[in-house]
Amino acid sequence: MAARSDLRRVLVLNGPNLGRLGRRQPEIYGTTTHDELSALCVEWGLGLGLDVEVRQTNHEGVMVDWLNGAADDETPVVLNAAAWTHYSYAVYDACAQLTAPLVEVHLSDPMARPEEWRHHSVVTPHAAAVVAGRGVDGYREALETIAAA
């Protein structure tokens, strides 16, 4: 879909395994599929005056390239870095370059999860806001945060 010049462009970037939403541990991540989440983000964005593009990758270098592009274009980002949240210094460095707002989002609340390694985020130091534990609605809240910035 072509960008609309009357709307502010926003990227929603999703990391590894999020393409399996609806099938992967629905008791933790819900039953909404990634395609459904993408459609919701586009719809919510339009209502907020945002032209939302949703992307998902299982490849860290692709994510870094997308973040570098967002830095170059000064594009706001909603980022669910998934597992990379907890250890990827490549994602950390790419987020450090962003000048437009970055909102970190997680379907579950990593701090409430039993695995200790989930309690650290390399994204948070660069984020204007963090939305966690609100399921799919967390993406709506993240887009609202960007629209208000």
Residue 17 marked ligand-binding? no
Residue 98 marked ligand-binding? no
User: Is 29 a known active-site residue?
Assistant: yes
In the three-class reduction of DSSP (H, G, I as helix; E, B as strand; rest coil), residue 20 is classed as helix
State the pairing for strand pair 8-14/50-56: parallel
Residue 118 marked ligand-binding? yes
Q: Which entry of 34, 92, 106, 126 is annotated as an active-site residue?
A: 106
Q: Which entry of 29, 92, 126, 139 is annotated as an active-site residue?
A: 29
Strand boundaries in the chain, DSSP class E:
8-14, 50-56, 77-80, 102-106, 129-132
CA distances from 88 to 5, 83, 104, 110 (A): 34, 8, 14, 16
Radius of gyration for the chain, computed over Cα atoms and rounded to the nearest angstrom: 14
Q: Cβ neighbours of residue 48 under 8 Å, at least 6 residues apart?
A: 143, 144, 147
d(CA 90, CA 85) in angstroms, rounded, equals 10
User: Is 34 a known active-site residue?
Assistant: no
Residue 9 marked ligand-binding? no
Residue 121 marked ligand-binding? no
Residue stretches of the annotated binding site for substrate: 80, 86, 93, 107-108, 118
Query: Catalytic residue positions?
Result: 29, 106
Which residues carry a binding-site annotation?
A: 80, 86, 93, 107-108, 118
